[in-house]
Structure 1
Amino acid sequence: MTSVFDTVNGRVRGRAAVRGVVAVLGIPYAEPPFGADRFREPRPRRPWAGVRDCVEYGPVSPQSAELPGAPRWSPGDEDVLSLNVWTPERAKGTEDRPLPVLVWIHGGAYTFGSGAEPGFDGTALARAGLVVVSLNYRVGFEGFGHIPSDGEDACPPNRGLLDQIAALEWVRDNIASFGGAPDRVTVAGQSAGATSAACLMTMDGARGLFRRAIAHSAVGPVFAPALAERLARKVAAAAGVPATHAGFAAASPQSLVRASDAVADGYRQDPHSGRLSWDPVIFGPVADGHLLRADPLDLIAAGVARDTDLLVCHTTQEYWLMSAVDSCAEAATEEELTRFIEDFGLPESLPEGYRRLVPEASVRDIHLALHGDLRFGEYSNRLADAHTRSGGRTFLSRFARQRDGTGPGVYAWHCADVPFAFGNLAEENIQFLIGGPPTPSDHRLSDRMVAAWAGFAATGDPGWKPVGDDAHDAVRIWGTAASAAGPDFWQDAGALRRLWSTFTYRPERL
């Protein structure tokens, strides 16, 4: 199998990932977004001469996170807009039949992460018959921080989303050389990546670049412009620069990373600072009225994406991961739980409703369940509801796999579903997420999830019925036979969702 491929920018050489799959890593899809291009829309990559070796992942976007097994950002790394392709060997006589394409957008609170994380290796999905693409995009202030308008020198909001669109344009123009079908592209993502996919479904600039979307644990809502502006001023103050285009441009990427971390930590340390005190995610897509006209939930409900097939999934114990990694505040008393309800403007009846579902649950368990459902579970389900009502074809699933024990990884928590869907359970760096070495039943579950993604990307059918009037209970539950660990509020999903019926999502404000 050849490992050299033609692109519009020049030839690239990959390497064998496993027998039958070639990985081409670190392909630049746009110019480095620094210097005169900093805080700008991504610019097309200039061509290169000869064959470019693409056998290692490219640099990641500026961030402070150090994720196990993944590249770390180093000051001076600028060529951060790159992508990775895994393509399977074709049986003789089938080379002219293009394969469906799956484009993966990583999560990370719009602040950290990359397409190079070990759990995102596309080999197993490629062996299932897909051409798989993962990508890096600008995160943190570089990708989502508000830059005040400065006359003709304005910088767009949502630069991270614009990077994703540029990567999809690269796929449209080049993926045929890797055996992929540019008219059968599925965008997939988890957490911030899932909401990115939902945003892309509604954005004019992404129209026609994909036909299906997979959203695991979409997080919402997006930010209102006033919140993005206020947070940018706080970052500027922490960095010691004016909150102007010139001020931010004069600050190094490293200083803005440090300043952003300081702002987030300030909210974390102040329990009376409102919503952000509970889990201070200070960057995200902004409903600016232009590039992203509103929250994707509202736009999808209006029918702007009804022609895009949608597969939605969420886990049933999302926020137990945030507790395990100490990234969120927890309510341990009734008073703290009441403050959480007030800070988010939630119905006062919610905690008692959760208690009725699981009477033995502690205050902490109720808080983690509420926070996880607020951020991920209910928002994801409403994306599915909105898309179905607007006439879109929608599939819904929940990841409920739990594991015996009391240690890390026993819950159906945030991110635990991703290595199952990618078929990467044996990867040592993800074993924290799944509670240790995978069991035979874990491998069988993973095989089913890989097949569902591959089937959806290929034909629009993941293996179960779409949501609709004729299939009201068409929800696939991903689980194993292991005993349950921790409180399971989703045993009565209908009752749980009814508790949220009076709550309305609006773009995030302070």
Structure 2
Amino acid sequence: MHVYTTKSGRVRGRASVRDHAVVAVLGIPYAAPPFGVDRFREPRPARPWDEVRDCVAFGPVAPQSAELPGSPTWSPGDEDVLSLNIWTPGTEGDGLPVLVWIHGGAYVFGSSAQPDFDGTALAGEGLVVVTLNYRLGFEGFGHVPAGEGEMPCPDNRGLLDQIAALEWIRENIAAFGGAPGNVTVAGQSSGATSVACLTAMDRARGLFRRAILHSAVNACASVAEAARTTAEVAAAAGVPATREGLLSASPQALVAAGDQVVDRYRRDPASGRRHYDPAIYGPVADGHTLPADPLTAAAAGLTREVDLLVCHTTEEYWLLDAVGSSAKITSEEQLAAFAQDFGLSAGLVDGCRLRMPEASVRDLYLAVHGDLLFAEYSSRLADSHADAGGTVFRSRFARRRGGRGQRVRAWHCADIPFAFGNLEEESVHFLTGGPPGEGDHELSRRMMSAWTSFATHGDPGWPRADTSSLPVRLWYTGREDEGAAAGGDFRDLWRTSGFPLLAP
């Protein structure tokens, strides 16, 4: 019997099917369902229960339209979406380091139930692994205007959900063998930027010691920008852009309205920055829940207390092109329009072209856009954190693989199955290029060891970066990867060309 006592009641888990020495406790509510009278509000405590609660299956996912391979989908009426999952090799009192994972998905899709986020392998390394669901899309990141005399609905409700989960972990994780004072929060893509936001938020201070950021995304809105998105979504939903009007639209209606807004941007080349990759939601730098965008906050020293491990892939944006979520830029005229829309200098684009003399216009665009959204932004977070006196370790993922007539690049998301040790999952084979070879397993062991070592005592196994020296650990398997590891670094060009902060 695997029964654990939490502040809300007792829960029963099961042995992981992958490793019977690890217990999986799935779908534990960490907060009340954020609907009905609690819709658009801060998360409230979960209602206690009396009997032992069977926690052997993932909880419902947040409202979204995505259908991901091997993952559950959202069904209208599913409301108990604020749940977390624990994989533990220990028992109460063991004091094991805790790793908390925040999934990505452009703030509109994804869940903790994705097979590549199964925590069994990392738990087998001696960690207590926690994954969680949080509000997405408008429910989690839409700006809700307050009328005269109305209590305002907070921005960044998805981030507040994450904080509520961390508070639950602080109060309850010891029962599962974890150390509440030794928590590392990790995430990838929008999950990484969520983590970066948490490092700057007063309400999250003291809830974790370290943070792992893989491919943080350059996306943080002002209140005015978020309000403009609200107006667009409300119009698409056919409701007034007021709290009352937005509450009258069902979660399903707001998901559909957001998809309509995205589709309009995608179809309109003249619509500016959002045409190229139309993500419309993200954190809001409202000055209350979130004091500033993560890069500004890091430069101001607001994140200095938290040790960082920062990684990005060497060919980030090729994945977005492969799955069809990016605009197709194939002509010099389109490339020039892209640079103009983002305010990029001709010197930057021309400099990248000189370093990629055989690249097509498409590949040049993907390289620059990948830096703009992920690679250079992640690197600047690391730089700013180090410059402000914080501890930071940097790495780059460069592993490539040929096969099935197409080379799988070191692209966005490909690093995460390696870090979790879930290479055998069929659902990740599109990302990794098929079943793993021995070199892949060896790389995975090294990446898992780095995460485990960092979460345990703050040292992933290579020197920390500082203001004068920025050592980078390169992750790759063999000779084919060496070109990706050595090339594709345009940091000096970005330093002299300026770097725009983007709003979703």
Q: What TM-score, normalized by structure 2, do the two folds share?
A: 0.97
AA at the equivalent of 2:286: D
User: Of 335, 338, 349, which residue of structure 1 is paired with 2:336?
Assistant: 338
Once the two structures are superposed, the pairs formed by residues 62-73 of structure 1 within 5 Å of their partners are 62-73=63-74
Measure, in 2, the Cα distance between the counterparts of 1:33 and 1:505: 37
AA at the equivalent of 1:83: L
- SS of residue paired to 2:181: strand
Measure, in 1, the Cα distance between the counterparts of 2:14 and 2:457: 29
Q: Is the 8 A contact 1:217 1:376 kept in 2?
A: yes
Aligned to 2:459: 461
Measure, in 2, the Cα distance between the counterparts of 1:291 and 1:89: 35
1:500 equivalent in alignment to 2:501: no
User: Of 100, 105, 122, which residue of structure 1 is paired with 2:102?
Assistant: 105
Q: Is the 8 A contact 1:409 1:433 kept in 2?
A: no
Give 1:492 deviation, angstroms: 4.6
Superposed structure 1 runs of 4+ greater than 6 Å apart: none
- For residues 261-309 of structure 1, give each alpha carbon's deviation from its aligned partner in whole angstroms, at most 9, with x where no partner exists: 0000000000000000000000000111111111111111111121210
Once the two structures are superposed, the pairs formed by residues 160-199 of structure 1 within 5 Å of their partners are 160-199=158-197
- SS of residue paired to 1:175: helix
1:216 equivalent in alignment to 2:214: yes
Give 1:97 deviation, angstroms: 3.2
Aligned to 1:8: 7
Q: For the aligned residues, what is the CA RMSD?
A: 1.6
Give 1:502 deviation, angstroms: 3.6
AA at the equivalent of 1:497: R
Aligned to 2:430: 432
Measure, in 2, the Cα distance between the counterparts of 1:6 and 1:346: 55
Q: Is the 8 A contact 1:217 1:313 kept in 2?
A: yes
Give 1:508 deviation, angstroms: 3.4
Measure, in 1, the Cα distance between the counterparts of 2:206 and 2:237: 40
Aligned to 2:83: 82
Measure, in 2, the Cα distance between the counterparts of 1:430 and 1:170: 30
Measure, in 2, the Cα distance between the counterparts of 1:59 and 1:286: 26
- For residues 379-433 of structure 1, give each alpha carbon's deviation from its aligned partner in whole angstroms, at most 9, with x where no partner exists: 0000100110111110000000011247566100000000000000001111110
Q: Is the 8 A contact 1:125 1:450 kept in 2?
A: yes
Aligned to 2:300: 302
- SS of residue paired to 2:150: helix
Give 1:493 deviation, angstroms: 6.4
User: Of 270, 273, 278, which residue of structure 2 is paired with 1:272?
Assistant: 270
Measure, in 1, the Cα distance between the counterparts of 2:405 and 2:106: 25
Count of residue pairs brought into register by the alignment = 501
Give 1:482 deviation, angstroms: 5.0
- For residues 80-121 of structure 1, give each alpha carbon's deviation from its aligned partner in whole angstroms, at most 9, with x where no partner exists: 00000000146xxxx633000000000000000001100000
Change (3 A) 1:32 1:352: same
Once the two structures are superposed, the pairs formed by residues 90-101 of structure 1 within 5 Å of their partners are 96-101=93-98
Change (3 A) 1:408 1:9: farther
Aligned to 1:123: 120
Aligned to 1:235: 233
Measure, in 1, the Cα distance between the counterparts of 2:340 and 2:491: 20
Give 1:473 deviation, angstroms: 4.5
1:137 equivalent in alignment to 2:137: no
Give 1:69 deviation, angstroms: 0.9
User: Of 126, 143, 147, which residue of structure 2 is paired with 1:146?
Assistant: 143
Q: Is the 8 A contact 1:10 1:50 kept in 2?
A: yes
Measure, in 2, the Cα distance between the counterparts of 1:260 and 1:316: 31
Aligned to 1:31: 32
Once the two structures are superposed, the pairs formed by residues 275-424 of structure 1 within 5 Å of their partners are 275-405=273-403, 407=405, 410-424=408-422
- SS of residue paired to 2:408: coil
Measure, in 2, the Cα distance between the counterparts of 1:347 and 1:405: 37
Measure, in 2, the Cα distance between the counterparts of 1:265 and 1:482: 41
Measure, in 2, the Cα distance between the counterparts of 1:463 and 1:274: 43
Q: Is the 8 A contact 1:221 1:506 kept in 2?
A: no
Aligned to 1:478: 475
What is the percent sequence identity of the aligned residues? 63
Any unmatched runs of 5+ in structure 1?
none
AA at the equivalent of 2:486: Q
AA at the equivalent of 2:231: R
Change (3 A) 1:409 1:39: farther
Measure, in 1, the Cα distance between the counterparts of 2:429 and 2:358: 29
Give 1:491 deviation, angstroms: 2.3
Change (3 A) 1:361 1:23: same
Give 1:351 deviation, angstroms: 1.6
Q: Is the 8 A contact 1:287 1:507 kept in 2?
A: no
Measure, in 1, the Cα distance between the counterparts of 2:40 and 2:224: 19
Q: What TM-score, normalized by structure 1, do the two folds share?
A: 0.96
- SS of residue paired to 1:349: helix
Once the two structures are superposed, the pairs formed by residues 447-458 of structure 1 within 5 Å of their partners are 447-458=445-456
Give 1:507 deviation, angstroms: 5.0
- SS of residue paired to 2:480: coil
- SS of residue paired to 2:61: coil
Q: Is the 8 A contact 1:60 1:80 kept in 2?
A: yes
- For residues 176-199 of structure 1, give each alpha carbon's deviation from its aligned partner in whole angstroms, at most 9, with x where no partner exists: 000000000000000000000000
Any unmatched runs of 5+ in structure 2?
none
Deviates more, 1:267-276 or 1:144-153: 144-153
Measure, in 2, the Cα distance between the counterparts of 1:194 and 1:348: 30
Give 1:46 deviation, angstroms: 1.5
Q: Is the 8 A contact 2:93 2:175 kept in 1?
A: no
AA at the equivalent of 1:112: F
Change (3 A) 1:207 1:247: same
